[in-house]
Amino acid sequence: MSGIVQASHVLTVATRGKGFVEITRELAGWLSSIAAENGLLTVFVQHTSASLTIQENADPNVRRDLLDTLEQLAPEDRAYSHHEEGPDDMPSHIKAMLTAVSLAIPIKDGSMTLGTWQGVYLIEHRAAPYRRNVVLSFIGNVADA
């Protein structure tokens, strides 16, 4: 095992509009490409109308119910002061504030320490498709070359 290293990468995620996009495989692939062994992965989305979460990846109804709940908390048909970018914009900011824009995931023996049914997701809160930048930062040990 070598000393502590730091590595970073920007992952671009294409969305199809409102919904969850699982990025677990992409994160695991990047960790493998840098030979990460033990440390901490920070995942950060560079947008104010998208967010990140770790959630169940087995039953899609969980994600559907979560989206429905977010819609109830920040509906589009409410009168918002900020409305210049469309009816879905301000609710998207609220949803991003209620969820998370960064995650910290421990890495052990080269793998994220996610639970059996956990996946890492980007949540698109806008109605239209977007390309979202997700910044990855790893600090820890990597395998010797």
H-helix or E-strand spanning residue 31: helix 24-33
For the whole prediction, is pTM greater than 0.85?
Answer: yes
Which residues are within 8 A (CB) of 139 and not within 5 positions of it... i.e. 6 or more apart? 4, 5, 6, 39, 40, 42
pLDDT digits (tens, 9 = 90+) for 14-23: 999 999 999 9
For the segment 2-23, the average pLDDT, to the nearest whole number, is 95
Residue % of the chain over a pLDDT of 90: 94
105 CB-contact burial (10 Å; exposed 0-12 / middle 13-18 / buried 19+):
buried
